[in-house]
Amino acid sequence: MGDVFFFSNLPFHLINYCCMPTNQSRRNALKNLVAGTAAIGATTVLGSFSNETSNSTTLKGNIQHSACRWCYGNIPLETLCAEGKKIGLIGIDLVGPSEWPTLKKYNLISTMCNGAEINLVDGWNDTNFHSKLIQNYLDMIPLVAKAGYKNLICFSGSRRGKDDETGWKNCSDGLKKIMSTAEQHGVTIVMELLNSKVDHKDYQCDKTAWGVELAKRIGSPNFKLLYDIYHMQIDEGDVIRTIRTYKDYIGHIHTGGVPGRREIDESQELYYPAIMKAILDLGYKGYVAQEFIPTSNDQAQQLAALQKAVQICDV
């Protein structure tokens, strides 16, 4: 994605989408977002979807629901916020500073902030990127805190031949240089677990245990893991037991249907109500962000699929 500069007045299309896979829609999300926003206004979708959301059932209030922005790249953010609010979302994941005012307009929050990372492959496990990453995060952390938000995403980067020990040491050495600032501002730095089998070949933080070992070495309560259920089902499976074992290290959760990162319904292999019940039983208080790629290209149907997913997870 190249270098990204981080100021609150940046246009949205320059904010780095931090969770884009290398092989399919996420890589194209930025292009599609710009094209979709230019092609259709918010009012059209609001009108077509209003009947869907106006009849939505009241949520139970046990899960703090969110949705990842990039999955709805052809829907204007104004529309996503307005309809997401009706669905029961607390906020939107993976939104950078230039779009935070739009979220605030709808009384939503950026449940996972982005914009300090370079990209997915050039991460904390490579000392060549430390200088830039450290400066980016030291600049971004105060912005996140000033906006009243709590979470800022980060990535290990690709292995490029590094063994586990080298990856742990490099990540730990670099991240420790920003953790005191994160702690002072009440911001949690969250490293995402991504699969290296299908979507992110060579990504180093591809197992929960790897991320947990890194968290132990960093030794800060303000460093957590983003447990992406889709990714970890692919690379390690055993989702509920893993969450139970490492609950203290998990600060955020993403969903997604396996296979294909599609809707989390009966068409895929995971049973999300059981997973959500398990995390509630463990006392999890963080956010659950829907991160599936809607099957339909129709915006109203995409929003309806989001509403259905939220209701599936609302245990």
Q: Which residue has the tokens 């129709």?
A: 298
* Beta-strand runs (E) in 168-302: 188-192, 223-228, 250-254, 287-290
Contact (CB, 8 A) for 204 and 165: no
| Residues in the chain with pLDDT values less than 50 | 1-56
Q: Residue 42 has what pLDDT?
A: 40
What distances in angstroms separate CA 140 from CA 24, 31, 154, 188, one per listed residue?
A: 28, 24, 12, 12
The token pair that represents 226 in the structure block: 């983003």
State the CATH architecture for 30-313. Alpha-Beta Barrel (3.20)
Q: Residue 131 has what pLDDT?
A: 98
Q: Residue 114 has what pLDDT?
A: 97
DSSP 221: T
**Closest by Cα among 35, 26, 33, 27 to 12:** 33
Contact (CB, 8 A) for 25 and 293: yes
Alpha helices in 40-163 (DSSP H): 42-54, 77-87, 100-105, 130-146
Domain residue limits, the chain = 30-313
Q: Where on the phi/psi map is residue 304: left (φ > 0), alpha (ψ -120 to 50), or beta?
A: alpha
Q: Residue 43 has what pLDDT?
A: 38
Write out pLDDT tens, residues 136-170: 999 999 999 999 999 999 999 999 999 999 999 99
